Structure 1
Amino acid sequence: MDNTLNDCIVALNSGEMILLIDDFIEGKEIGYFYLLSDFVTPSSINLMATHGRGLVSVALTKQRASELTLPMMVNNNENPHKYFTVSVDYTNCSTGISAFERCETIQKLTEKNSAPNDFTRPGHIFPIISSERGLLEQVTISDAAIDLAQLCSAKSLSGVVCDVLNKKGMIANKLELENLSMELNLIMVSMKNLVVHQLRNTDLILRQKENTVPTKYGELTSIIYTNQLDDSKIIVIMKEKKNKTLPLPVYIDSVFSIGEAFEEKNIEKITIDGFGILIYKLNSSKESRLDSRNPFQLKESFGIFVEQILNDINITDPVIITNVA
């Protein structure tokens, strides 16, 4: 875990607020105030409303939304990155809009003993639902909020978020967010770094099939791995070296078929010196339509798969060459 993320978790577990920066798409950064729901107070809601100026939402798991019978806001959700339920107020609220009443509504949403009839609909707090696998499924603010709550071992597995706008009412840019971080003495955390951390700390691969393949260059070993999160395939073709003292060249690329992986020009690369490894990501038509917020769109993601594969086949001294072409 990098130092900033570790500092973030310490701060959150101490009841502090942070600035969570959605920097997954470069040049389109969005900042959010973020606080574990366990520590929400009227003053924290007021700070969000005063300095953030955006919508105050509470991230919940699907299970919690189901327990409270919170239906989706719309039947046909047209925004694949925002899954709002109906908005709610706690039944004891008057208007529900004050910082005190919004705080109370959030507290009741996360209390285990709360029941569906404890809330009126619509209201002034907007629950937003995370994916089943969080950031490993889709990179959104609700997924980041729940994943952070899990990393903090928060009691309620819930987080309060608020979009940050500048004084003109526009989305605050990166420089404005940095200035706000210094002004309010808040830790800034990158959502992209959080995704990488989650990928690195998850068993992503499953070895499916291993075969010996005869070629004119001698026998090769092929191994097929499955990405356990989206069932995509990774093909490994290996010519083992007898001399274990030299680094092993590892070539990385993508193909559209297993046959393409075994083309002679590729096999020759790992046999010309008598040893080497080819690692191919097997693309598909489905994959070409991947959402721009799929975590596997990160350039770092396939490198993490490669690290896990090399560890699985006990390669500790590779020389990685990023493309076979």
Structure 2
Amino acid sequence: MGYNIGVSEEIFSRVEDVLEDLRQGKPVIVVDDEERENEGDFVIAAEKATPEIINLMAREGGGLVCLALNPERFDDLELGLPIQNTSRMGTPFGVPVDASSVTTGTSAHERALTARWAADESKGPDDFLRPGHLYTLRASEGGVLRRAGHTEASVDLARLAGLYPAAVICEIMDQDGTMARLPRLIEVAKRHGLRLITVAEIIRFRLAREIYVERLLARPLRTRWGDFVLYLYRDRIKGDVHLALVSGRITENILVRVQRECPVGDVFGSVVCDCREQMDSALFRIGQEGGVFVYLRQEPGSAETVARILEHIDPAYLERERYEAERYIGTGAQILKDLGVSSMRLLTNNPRKMVGIEGFGLTITERVPIQPRPRKENMEHLLKKRDDMGHIIGPLDQPEEI
């Protein structure tokens, strides 16, 4: 997902192997997506921090050596978020600290000690000096399922490894002082015998193993497409409320559509995108044949969400979609499982969605295409979906007039 440099995905390790290395006290390298920073960080569980590992991070990484903590521990230690966060990625820095027993706090030995103390719940706020030499970071509630950053990834990995949910991380810089990208990260990993893993893989791992949607209600709903049962679901991590419309009984090979909300298209009928047309087409077919329509709401009240929607034809928007879709596919898969769906014919033009849903233990027996109506106004949007995002779309050579 997002690594377009011609490198085989075999360079990335399985989450299970990375977790075992962390349990053994061995650092790993976590790489985020190119739509974010496309950078790599050394990661070690805080309770496993040693002077040798801190020295490796400082010498080979060259970036800031930071202590990432789960939000409960961060707040318990009263590390605070001292200023309004205006950083581009919203990196949640707190007050830098030292263990109270250190001298200068700058040595690798003393920073390793500070990290281990932070993972020791017998230590409280009074056991740390402020300001110190180990920068602190507060992971978001929900980890990578809420914010796909190195901070959340490192804390999630420590927790998944059965260790205290705190980690020491350090950005890896290139020899010219810029941030190292994937080719350089591969070289560093090979030289030190370390495993590489992506934030995206950690997200997939968690989505496939953790249930985070809950059913709120089910009500009959009569629509112009027929009679449905409306189900309401809540995402316990992000707070989003999602909908599912079910026509008829849940059977094998049931017709399914999973679609994300697009207010400007679904509600106001924007002609720049084809979202409303896809929704109408899917609901008509499901109303006729029976099936499930899952409607995934965007984050509520977010100006950024509306801005992204209005940027449908912006290439940067379509690039970000590759990453955002990963989480939404997982949410849709959990809703389908709760409804009792096991195998389906999926209404989609997006092969990536098929692979994503099958990754959550559901079987897709057929891809059912939704042919868009090309118009001059939506042509650029459709071409980018086809050419840049790999959607399988039929002929677009005769655009209609509105």
Both structures adopt the same fold (TM-score exceeding 0.5): yes
1:29 matched residue in structure 2: 38
1:300 matched residue in structure 2: 326
SS of 2:116's equivalent in the other structure is helix
* More displaced 10-residue stretch of structure 1: 116-125 or 190-199: 116-125
Any conservation in 2 of the 1:195–1:295 contact (CA below 8 Å)? no
| Number of residues of Structure 1 aligned to a counterpart in Structure 2 | 317
Q: 1:4 aligns with which of 11, 14, 34?
A: 14
User: How many angstroms apart in 1 are the aligned matches of 2:118 and 2:223?
Assistant: 63
1:47 matched residue in structure 2: 56
Q: In structure 2, do the counterparts of structure 1 residues 68 and 307 end up closer, same or farther at CA, with 3 Å as the change threshold?
A: closer
Q: In structure 2, do the counterparts of structure 1 residues 116 and 228 end up closer, same or farther at CA, with 3 Å as the change threshold?
A: closer
Any conservation in 1 of the 2:46–2:115 contact (CA below 8 Å)? yes
Q: In structure 2, do the counterparts of structure 1 residues 315 and 46 end up closer, same or farther at CA, with 3 Å as the change threshold?
A: same
SS of 1:298's equivalent in the other structure is helix
Q: 1:286 aligns with which of 280, 301, 317?
A: 301
Q: 1:140 aligns with which of 146, 149, 157?
A: 149
Q: 1:268 aligns with which of 273, 278, 284?
A: 284
- Map Cα deviations across residues 209-264 of structure 1 (whole Å, 9 max, x no partner): 3222345765332222222333323222222259x56x222123244479998986
- Map Cα deviations across residues 123-178 of structure 1 (whole Å, 9 max, x no partner): 21111111122222212222112111110111x32111111001111100110001
Note the aligned Cα RMSD (angstroms): 3.1
Q: In structure 2, do the counterparts of structure 1 residues 296 and 195 end up closer, same or farther at CA, with 3 Å as the change threshold?
A: farther
Any conservation in 1 of the 2:219–2:231 contact (CA below 8 Å)? yes
User: How many angstroms apart in 2 are the aligned matches of 1:179 and 1:319?
Assistant: 43
Q: 2:107 aligns with which of 95, 98, 102?
A: 98
Q: 2:256 aligns with which of 235, 250, 256?
A: 250
1:310 matched residue in structure 2: 336
User: How many angstroms apart in 1 are the aligned matches of 2:55 and 2:153?
Assistant: 22
Cα offset, 1:310, TM superposition = 1.9
User: How many angstroms apart in 2 are the aligned matches of 1:282 and 1:55?
Assistant: 37
- Map Cα deviations across residues 91-110 of structure 1 (whole Å, 9 max, x no partner): 33232212122222222333
User: How many angstroms apart in 2 are the aligned matches of 1:55 and 1:67?
Assistant: 23
Q: In structure 2, do the counterparts of structure 1 residues 112 and 278 end up closer, same or farther at CA, with 3 Å as the change threshold?
A: closer
Unaligned runs of 5+ in 1: none
User: How many angstroms apart in 2 are the aligned matches of 1:93 and 1:47?
Assistant: 20
SS of 2:86's equivalent in the other structure is coil
User: How many angstroms apart in 1 are the aligned matches of 2:226 and 2:96?
Assistant: 65
Any conservation in 2 of the 1:138–1:295 contact (CA below 8 Å)? no
* More displaced 10-residue stretch of structure 1: 37-46 or 127-136: 127-136
Q: 1:158 aligns with which of 166, 169, 181?
A: 166
1:121 matched residue in structure 2: 130
SS of 1:169's equivalent in the other structure is coil
Unaligned runs of 5+ in 2: 1-11, 270-275, 309-316, 350-369, 373-402
Residue 187 (1) aligns with residue 195 (2): yes
Structure having the higher strand fraction is 1
Instruction: Give the structure-1-normalised TM-score.
Output: 0.85
Identical aligned residues as a percent: 23
Q: Which has the higher contact order (CA 8 A, sep 6+)?
A: 1
Q: Which amino acid aligns with 2:291?
A: G
1:65 matched residue in structure 2: 74
Cα offset, 1:315, TM superposition = 1.9
Cα offset, 1:77, TM superposition = 2.4
Any conservation in 1 of the 2:13–2:195 contact (CA below 8 Å)? no
Q: In structure 2, do the counterparts of structure 1 residues 295 and 113 end up closer, same or farther at CA, with 3 Å as the change threshold?
A: farther
Q: 1:320 aligns with which of 346, 368, 392?
A: 346
Matches of residues 222-261 of structure 1 in structure 2 within 5 Å?
222-240=230-248, 244=251, 247-255=253-261, 256=263
